[in-house]
Structures are given as C-alpha cells and as structure tokens.
C-alpha cells in the first residue's frame, strides 16, 4: 500500500544530475547525529529504499542512528484491515537487520514510528501490541495524520483528515492508549491546527507529543504572498504550544513544496548558507521557546531531496548552531531524539 496521494502539490522526484551541480565539504564531520525523521518507500518512479538512503548517509556526516516515520510502506496484503499497517514495521525491522549485515555503519530504523488508526479508541491496543512485536525492540510511536486545511478540501499532498480529529473522543481515547504504553505520538498537521494540538497536549499531559516539521506552515495556494502573516500567526501559536512540557518539535521539513519551497526551480541547488539563511527564523524561534532539550533536527528525506542534497541539509543545520555550546548541539543533533525515541547510542552521556 502506497501513500494515498492526492491534491495539486505532489512530491517531485529528485534530480541526481541537478543535485550534483553543487557540492560542498562536510562541516564538523565529527558531530554525532540521529536523523530524527526519514522515510522508506517504493513510490513509482521515486523509490527510496535501503540502497538510496545508504547512499545519502555515505555523504560524510556522522549519522549514528535514524528514526523511521510512517509512510504507507510495505503494508500487509492480507489479514485484518486494522493490522495491515503492521507490515510497514515488519519491513523496516528487516531492513534494519539488512543494514547491519551490510555494515552500513548507521543504525537505520533504530526507532520506528508506524501508523495505527487512533479512531479505533481502546481497540487500537491490538494494533500497538502487533507493532511492538513486529518491531523487534525498535517500535517507539504512532503517526496518524490529522492534517487538513479548509482552503484545500481535496487535500494538498495526501487526503485530508476529517475536521476536528484531534478533538474527537475516539481519537483521544486512542492517544491515551499510546500514552499508557509509553509510546510517542508524532503530530502531522498544518499550522492553523496548532491550537488544537495545544488543547490535546494539555488534556493528555502523559502523552509524549512530537510536532513534525515545525507544524508545517503552508506556503502554497492562498498562502502565497502572506508569508509574514503566516509567520506571525505560527510564532504566536507555537509559543502557546511550547508551554506544554510534553511537546517536542522537529526542526526540518522546510524543503516541502507545500511549505513554499521552490529551490528545485533554480539553475543550481542551494548552498547550506542559502538554506541556513532561509530557515534561521524558524529554527531560532523554536530553540528560544522550547529549548535545545525539546528540539531535534530531521532530514525529512526523501521528501526534501528534490530541493537539496543530504550533505547540504545537515551542513545548514550545523551553520545554524555555530553559536551554540557543544552541549546544546548534542541535544539538537542527537540527544533529544535519543531521549524521545528511546535510542541508546554507545558512549553517549546525553
């Protein structure tokens, strides 16, 4: 089963030829990294499986481990509908073993975030237990997207979630089941939905919530030309969300077309300086509000790969933290991800 892709802003396939037009040396090559958000998929014409991800990991950064996040990959073709999503966890767990056998050097899928239909309420426990067994010690959390925007009734990239899903009683019951098991909840939504997430975080203080992609500030359709207005609204809403101690935020994903990225239309790929300049307001705002101990960097590959190379992405994050202490860098690049997703890195004291 592939992603239920719909709407006018599909992910473009990366162009290896274009990406190769600009290369730069790796910055601070010794800095340990956990890539807190990536996907594996087999989309037609744009596969991103072990070989493709391993090639990006070999670009020079010290990526010790990764967090795989739900992408509709490898669902079971048979069995109960509610358990077909467990096939994704099974396949990623096998991929993790394969990466070890091939001595890739990165613990790919050290943490697995899978899909479970949270509208099942208490019945979702069956799905969570099946994921836990299939993950062979790596299953850590759930992502069931609530993303929708009234300007895009047919969806932007994927089919929109029902309105008000975060406030739905059955969905909240499902979230409570996630919390009871000590699992995390990756929140995939659009920026206008941040107040709903704040209410959910306050109502479920024992639920460990991870906000994906800064809250995914839209920059397409009616949002074009309103970037300053969108930033002000986002900053106000993210400041309220930061008051909830059970929320952490992933810093990344700004290479998505739905966020207004258009780097792929330029003659040359962006440099890490270009990216750092564009991303600085978002990154610095989150670190200011949440603190380094509740922020983590993510590549969001292969979604963002159409805009820039893996090496360039992590160089940009390193440029953005040039003034930070080593302790802060360690939290941002791997410490927060390790604590949030239960990843143990050899020799780590974070």
CA dist list (Å): 138 to 68, 95, 132, 141, 198: 10, 12, 8, 9, 28
pLDDT at 3 over 60: no
Q: Which residue has the tokens 């072990």?
A: 50
What's the rounded mean pLDDT across residues 29-45? Answer: 94
Do 111 and 142 form a contact (C-beta atoms < 8 A)? Answer: no
- The percent of residues in the chain predicted with pLDDT above 90, rounded, is 91
The answer for residues whose C-beta is within 8 angstroms of residue 337's C-beta and 6 or more apart is 34, 36, 67, 111, 296, 343
Per-residue confidence at 164, pLDDT binned at 50, 70, 90? very high
pLDDT at 159: 85
CA dist list (Å): 289 to 64, 197, 340: 27, 16, 18
pLDDT at 10 over 80: no
pLDDT at 229: 96
What's the rounded mean pLDDT across residues 82-103? Answer: 97
pLDDT in tens, 310-346: 999 999 999 999 999 999 999 999 999 999 999 999 8
Please provide the average confidence, as pLDDT, over all residues in the chain.
Answer: 95
Do 26 and 311 form a contact (C-beta atoms < 8 A)? Answer: yes
pLDDT at 348: 74
pLDDT at 5: 52
Distance CA 232, CA 219 (A): 13
Question: Which residue segments constitute the domains of the chain, with CATH numbers given?
Answer: 29-341 (3.20.20.140)
What's the rounded mean pLDDT across residues 75-101? Answer: 96
pLDDT at 149 over 50: yes
pLDDT at 154: 84
Task: Give the pairing type, strands 107-114 and 62-69.
Answer: parallel
Which of 44-53, 65-74, 78-87, 184-193 shows the lowest mean pLDDT across its residues?
Answer: 44-53
pLDDT at 308: 98
Residue 163's CB is within 10 A of a number of other CB atoms, namely: 10
Per-residue confidence at 124, pLDDT binned at 50, 70, 90? very high
> pLDDT higher for 2 or 273?
273
pLDDT at 6: 55
pLDDT at 2: 42
- The percent of residues in the chain predicted with pLDDT above 70, rounded, is 97
pLDDT at 299 over 80: yes
What's the rounded mean pLDDT across residues 58-71? Answer: 97
pLDDT at 237: 98
Q: Which residue has the tokens 């029902």?
A: 162
pLDDT at 158 over 60: yes
Q: Which tokens in the block code for residue 12?
A: 């473009």
What's the rounded mean pLDDT across residues 136-156? Answer: 94
pLDDT at 11: 78
Q: List helix spans (H) across the chain.
A: 16-19, 50-57, 86-101, 124-134, 169-180, 194-203, 227-241, 272-290, 310-320, 326-330, 336-341
């Amino acid at each position: 089963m592939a992603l239920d892709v719909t709407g006018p802003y599909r992910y473009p396939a990366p162009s290896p030829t274009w990406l190769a037009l600009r290369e730069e040396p790796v910055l601070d090559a010794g800095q340990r990294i956990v890539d807190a958000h990536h996907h594996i998929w087999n989309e037609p014409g744009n596969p991103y499986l072990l070989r493709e991800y391993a090639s990006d990991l070999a670009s020079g950064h010290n990526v010790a481990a990764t967090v795989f996040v739900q992408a509709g990959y490898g669902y079971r073709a048979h069995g109960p509908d509610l358990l077909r999503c467990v096939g994704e966890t099974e396949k990623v767990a096998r991929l993790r073993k394969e990466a070890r056998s091939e001595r890739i050097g990165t613990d790919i899928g050290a943490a697995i975030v899978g899909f479970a239909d949270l509208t099942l309420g208490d019945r979702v426990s069956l799905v969570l237990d099946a994921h836990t067994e299939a993950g062979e010690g790596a299953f850590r959390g759930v992502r069931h997207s609530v993303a929708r925007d009234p300007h895009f009734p047919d969806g932007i990239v994927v089919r929109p979630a029902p309105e008000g899903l975060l406030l739905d009683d059955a969905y909240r019951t499902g979230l409570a089941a996630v919390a009871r098991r000590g699992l995390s909840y990756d929140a995939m939504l659009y920026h206008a939905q941040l107040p709903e997430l704040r209410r959910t975080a306050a109502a479920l203080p024992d639920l460990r919530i991870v906000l994906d992609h800064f809250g995914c500030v839209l920059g397409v359709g009616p949002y074009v030309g309103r970037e300053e207005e969108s930033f002000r609204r986002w900053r106000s809403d993210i400041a309220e969300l930061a008051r909830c101690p059970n929320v952490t935020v992933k810093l990344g994903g700004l290479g998505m077309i739905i966020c207004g990225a258009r780097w792929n239309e330029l003659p040359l790929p962006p440099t890490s300086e270009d990216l750092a300049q564009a991303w600085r307001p978002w990154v610095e705002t989150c670190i200011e509000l949440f603190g380094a101990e509740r922020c983590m960097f993510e590549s969001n590959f292969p979604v963002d790969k159409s805009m820039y190379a893996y090496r360039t992405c992590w160089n940009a994050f390193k440029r953005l933290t040039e003034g930070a202490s080593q302790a802060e860098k360690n939290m941002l690049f791997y410490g927060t991800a390790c604590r949030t997703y239960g990843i143990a890195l050899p020799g780590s004291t974070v």
